[in-house]
Amino acid sequence: MLKIYLLKYEDPRLISDTAFMEAATEKIDSRRKNGLQKMKKNSAGRAASIAAGLLIQYAYEKNLSEEDSECVRVVSLDEVLDSIQKVRDFRYRIGREGKPYFEGEGEPYFNISHAGGFAAIAFSDREVGIDIQNRRNTKTVQMADRFFSKEEKAAVRADKSGDLFFRLWTRKEALGKCTGEGVRPYLDVNILNLGVGKATGYEWTEDVVEECFMTVCLKR
């Protein structure tokens, strides 16, 4: 089972409408709500955190519903807010490198990422990692030269579309988030071929959403 939801949250109401922000904040769990205290001067970060909290509530409810069988779904902020009827105050345990899990027997695995005005969440009955990156970054060759394997560096330099860098970067991030080890062990690992090496034993979903490239890594 794998369900992926993306929330487009770039909405001025989450930045400057105090009443709207307060109402939205009441629909997220207390751990994430408390974390907003550290973001008083970071309006963009606060909006992203609220959006992620809302998306957790929304996706958890949808995960319980047999009717929602779509694998990937993009939802609006208003749709999410209107759908949250029961606010769950989730309790989390934190794994190595900060990977979050729901506490309790039988709870689904999940993972979150946000970029380019989107919050993305993956829910599964297996270990899962998700990463989304904004393709507006133009320093792809420089970053590949700094972090990637020799084979990947050459491939990125030869890629005229500019998309290969983001495909590789999100693969590495999603794999590191799935294993719970973080991206560092995979930065210089050749992951051009998802059927060999470190990429074996996992299933992959890749998609482009507006200006963002997204990859989901699921343990087999």
Same domain, 110 and 149: no
Same domain, 98 and 202: no
Average pLDDT over residues 168-182: 96
Percentage, residues of the chain above pLDDT 70: 98
Average pLDDT over residues 204-219: 93
pLDDT of residue 70: 61
Same domain, 9 and 116: yes
Given a cut of 90, is residue 183 above it in pLDDT?
A: yes
Same domain, 10 and 97: yes
Same domain, 95 and 119: yes
Same domain, 96 and 62: yes
Render pLDDT for 50-81 as a digit per residue (tens, 0 to 9). Answer: 999 999 999 998 887 756 566 788 999 999 99
Same domain, 10 and 116: yes
pLDDT of residue 40: 80
Distance in angstroms (rounded) separating the CA atoms of residues 31 and 102? 12
pTM metric for this prediction: 0.92
pLDDT of residue 68: 58
Given a cut of 90, is residue 185 above it in pLDDT?
A: yes
pLDDT of residue 135: 86
Same domain, 152 and 215: yes
pLDDT of residue 33: 93
Q: Contacts by 199-208 with C-beta closer than 8 Å and gap 24+?
A: 199/171, 199/175, 202/175, 202/178, 204/171, 204/174, 205/2, 205/4, 205/71, 205/72, 206/167, 206/170, 206/171, 207/72, 208/163
pLDDT of residue 150: 96
pLDDT of residue 67: 62
Same domain, 150 and 56: no
Same domain, 138 and 199: yes
Same domain, 115 and 158: no
pLDDT of residue 66: 59
Of 83, 102, 125, which residue sits at a domain end?
125
pLDDT of residue 199: 87
Of 125, 144, 159, which residue sits at a domain end?
125
Given a cut of 90, is residue 104 above it in pLDDT?
A: no
Of 107, 125, 143, which residue sits at a domain end?
125
Where residue 140 falls (left for φ over 0; alpha for ψ -120 to 50; beta otherwise) is alpha
Render pLDDT for 131-166 as a digit per residue (tens, 0 to 9). Answer: 999 988 778 899 999 999 999 999 999 998 889 999
Which residues span the domain enclosing 12? Answer: 2-125
Same domain, 14 and 107: yes
